[in-house]
Amino acid sequence: MKAAIIGSTTLAVAAGLGFYTWTVSQNANGVPCGDTSVASAAIGGPFELVSETGEMVTDIDVITKPTLVYFGYTFCPDVCPLDSARNAAAAYILEDQGHDIGTVFVTIDPARDTPQIVGDFADNFHDEMIGLTGTAEQVDAASKAYRTYYRKQEGDPEYYLVDHSTQTYLMFPETGFATFFKRDHTAEQIAETTACFIDQLS
């Protein structure tokens, strides 16, 4: 059973990655932006989710500037805070350099993550970090649009865990997806690559 689950995970992730065309993006001066391989296929796009104040918002409302988007859940005490803190640290570095950057945390556990809980969680890392939740359908649609994977583990109805992908996506308001970061990228690397794309695309 465990092997089957791992197998399906690999398959799902592989299927997601299958949409990617691997190229290396360059900035206006022909210099590659960081060492991240960049997908040119459609990642992201329209979504409808619920803000921390309980209002319905769309991608247009949320991604108003270069934005780092991460999918996780607040019951996760280890990886999600670690990655969110890193994304916040990248935002602080970029802000110090004079860049206007947004950060977004989308829960893939809307059953437990109410607007207030996901909002509090996001604010814990950066005052401006936007926490988003929604109905199960809305969250699923957003996750699919970003080609992220999540799977609720079986077990306790209250204290269950959720497997989930840990990429962070750099999105721009007009042009959409720019690149993604893996979890072993540092805040400094994310800031450097993001600044490169801002120079290229803004």
Partner 1 sequence: MKLNTLFTAAVLSLTASVALAESEIHVMDTTVFETAPTAMAGGGFMQIMNHGDTDDKLIDVRADYPRVEIHTTEFEDGVAKMIHIEGIPVPAGGMATLEPGGFHVMFMGLQGTPFVLDEIIPATLVFEHAGEVEVMFKVVARGEHGNMNHGEMNH
Question: Which residues contact partner 1 by CB under 8 A?
Answer: 6, 9-10, 13-14, 74-79, 81-82, 85-86, 89, 112, 116-117, 120-121, 123-125, 149, 153, 156, 158-159, 161, 163-167, 182-184, 186-188
Least distance between partner 1 and beta carbon 113 (Å) = 9
Nearer to partner 1, 141 or 161 (CB): 161
User: Phi-psi region for residue 113, left (φ > 0), alpha (ψ -120 to 50) or beta?
Assistant: beta
Q: How far apart are CA 135 and CA 141, in angstroms?
A: 10
Q: How far apart are CA 58 and CA 126, in angstroms?
A: 21
Least distance between partner 1 and beta carbon 58 (Å) = 25
Question: Would you give the DSSP letter of residue 124?
Answer: T
Nearer to partner 1, 61 or 188 (CB): 188
Nearer to partner 1, 27 or 124 (CB): 124
Nearer to partner 1, 52 or 59 (CB): 52
Least distance between partner 1 and beta carbon 75 (Å) = 5
Say if CB 142 and CB 164 are below 8 A apart: no
Nearest CA among 124, 121, 131, 112 for reference residue 55: 131
Nearer to partner 1, 113 or 200 (CB): 113
Structure tokens at 188: 């400094």
Least distance between partner 1 and beta carbon 97 (Å) = 17
Q: How far apart are CA 71 and CA 139, in angstroms?
A: 10
